[in-house]
Structure 1
Amino acid sequence: MPIRLLPETMINQIAAGEVIERPASVVKELVENAVDAGATRIEIATSGGGLTLIRVSDDGGGIPADELEMAVSRHCTSKLANGIDDIRTLGFRGEALPSIGAVSRLSIRSRTAAGEPVEISVEGGRVSPVRPAGANRGTTVEVRDLFYATPARLKFMKGERAEASAIADIVRRIAIAFPAVRFTLSGSDRMTLEFAPTDERLRRVAQVLGAEFPENSVEIDAERENVRLEGHVSVPSYSRANALQQYVYVNGRPVRDKLIAGAIRGAFADVLARDRHAVTALFLSLDPALVDVNVHPAKADVRFRDPGLVRGLIVGSIKEALAAAGVRPATTGAAAMLGAFRPGPVPFGHPGPANGHRHYNPSFHGSPGFDPLRSHQRPLDGFAEAAQAVFEAGPLASADTRASQQDAEPSTASFRLGAARAQVHENYIVAQTEDSLVIVDQHAAHERLVYEALKEALASRPLPAQMLLLPEIIDLAEEDAERLSLHAETLKRFGLGLERFGPCAVAVRETPAMLGETNVEQLVRDLADEIAEHDTVETLKQRLNAIAATMACHGSVRSGRRLLPHEMNALLRQMEVTPGSGTCNHGRPTYIELKLADIERLFGRR
């Protein structure tokens, strides 16, 4: 078959296959165009999950009448005045509108501040002449019957609800980056998503991620070699089962980058379980020449000129911020606990929940024939007088005596985790602060303390190594062998002794004693792959840390062990000065804090 030039319509349909993957892709391109046009109000309306209708209206600068026809032509853009190495807008390729027009029925109405309103239509790639229209200042883009010109693509679309959910996610991601812009999304299900404009980025983040996010997050503000990282990440005890609530931006552009996602996962590796994910809103700012956003037509992937610098900045700044924040629980734990204490109203005399408890009526005790031993209003079995005798403090001392005792023994209630008051079920420490009640899981808390001590020991001195009886020779690609030899000194500190063995192999003579019997070849190959991708040796660190976590679990205070008051207080004081002590090594919370105000509300005092 001879080589021939493809028709323009087919060229646009092929390009659309890369740019327009689903209705959410259309919304992304149109909303980004509206933001680039300086809009302060953007309204998105959809029907049929975006397949039937997508309408995006804005109050931006508009498109001049004499440029409207060029706007729907491929590779026509107003956003590359300074070249491909200095991209400061969200769009720049000049492909979105012609790609959308190639697979749908597209119409654009626009008006500039000083111009007349005009309209143009594109149907399946066929462009109609520009004509006068009625429109306010700004632009309205309407897309109907998406993919009608390429029906095969329709077979790959998900249900209406799934497509609508993807559109909502796109709007949320862009809305976080531009808090001064009002975003309104309405769909055929009559549900409306609206983000009011605000001067504070964290307030917009709270609009998207929920009002509880700010108080369950720590601020990130760091800079290294003119690369700046700002934003907020959740405390470890406030996590999710997936990474959908990780919002990351590079120079204001929403991205889904593997390097950044891996860095976030690495920063939380010690404080979150493998199946849990932090909630983040992070903003990277750097010279546009140092990042390539032209990796894919969808512009969701980026490439950094110095990926090691970016990864190190993210991991280091998040770890430092979490350590500086100290011990902090998630407020959602207390909220769940409060919810458990708030059963629905049950009329007096009516059976309560399945456990048969009834609500207390103070007038009932005065009724004739009341027998406290048979009544359901009697004290619960676990709180009888004999069972509580161990907590008896004797007669109250006088005010002067109590004051002198307080002067002689300063109260520990002023500490962050307060003073231990009791141990419940030989596993939970109940402590009192000046304004709250704290419940600590003693095993989980001590597990974190032991783990952090082991990690500090690992980092402070070279690890013991075990000599192999015979060196293990591992064949590698020449570049992998070179990378490993360059990191030999670092690997030696972790107990892995290796050296170059010819151009395409390394000889391993020592392995970390902590690893015991291990697959040396697989370890070395994993390290080579990681160094090639990130220029780090995190794989070995993670294996050693995993062993340290196991040792900490077996070496910590076990559930069921009774602790003396001074032991409980010592545990609390250690938690207060240990980074990450709000969660155990598996990501579970180590304590829950219940504010006194919440307790008083439970008892109707507020």
Structure 2
Amino acid sequence: KMELRFGDPGRVHAFVKNTLNSHLLRYEENRFQQIKSKLSTTIQTNKATKIESRIFASRTDKKRFSEVKKELKQIYQPDMFKQKTTEDQVIEEKLAPKQKEMFLRPEEEVINPWQLHQSYIFVQVEEGLMIIDQHAAHERIIYEKILHRIHGAPAQTQKLLFPIVIDLPPHLSTTIPELIEDNLEVFDKIGFSIKTFSGNSIVIDEIPVELEDWDGGDIFIEIIKQLEDELTETEDFRDSISKSVACKAAIKAGKKMGKKEMLALINDLFACEVPYFCPHGRPLIIKMPMIEFEKKFKRT
């Protein structure tokens, strides 16, 4: 026979996909095993969590990948929230202990991060140097938090002193008002309390805790504009709005960070399901082994 058909092709596809994901994740874990021994914090994990919530709870080139980005989405960003099949559960049960061991670092070990041009976090590790893109890392953290909220985690909001009326600008698609109205429940889970007003106007009185620079509602227009761009590549509204909010809420390149802020960011990043790539598939961690430095200085 030239063709073989399965009774349930979707189940077979899911099994093959998750098997590949598990092997790739194990490969990445092996690469970071030696980092784990050095990459740890002088702060206890629970203290770092409190620091993160205190620091980030109140706040918050144009070149795109084509085929590469699509492949990264499929390989490194599996749908974390689909109903798990039996094969998924078996894989997760095998990986969970390894992930936990990797991400929860002993409190007595020490890490001393520093910042380059207020954009990149440098960490000395046993193999050499690890560099983290601070904006992309925070974007990944917020993205996963928002997805978890959409799928059942409690919303974390901050109430505005006064409700604000936002007039959606004419340069946005004419379908945007309807899109917002059709997805009010999703916005509510994210942390936006939105009511439709009249015409192209909406009223907002609560926003997600990550949005520090609310700026009179301008950032909401930016989020909706980016949402338009995201929806040109996918019909998945929930994923698109999560990416849009995460991008606008994340700390920006050029922001000075203290040691405690960097430690909290690193801890939260390595607690993510996919800590190696931003929501759009770009790498957010680069490793430079000592051998590369030795080559540059012609020591080898």
**What band does the TM-score fall into relative to the shorter chain?**
0.3 to 0.5
Task: Please state which structure has a larger fraction of its residues in strand.
Answer: 1
Name the structure with the higher helix share.
2
For normalisation by structure 2, the TM-score amounts to 0.45
Bigger Rg, structure 1 or 2: 1
When normalised by structure 1's length, the TM-score is: 0.23
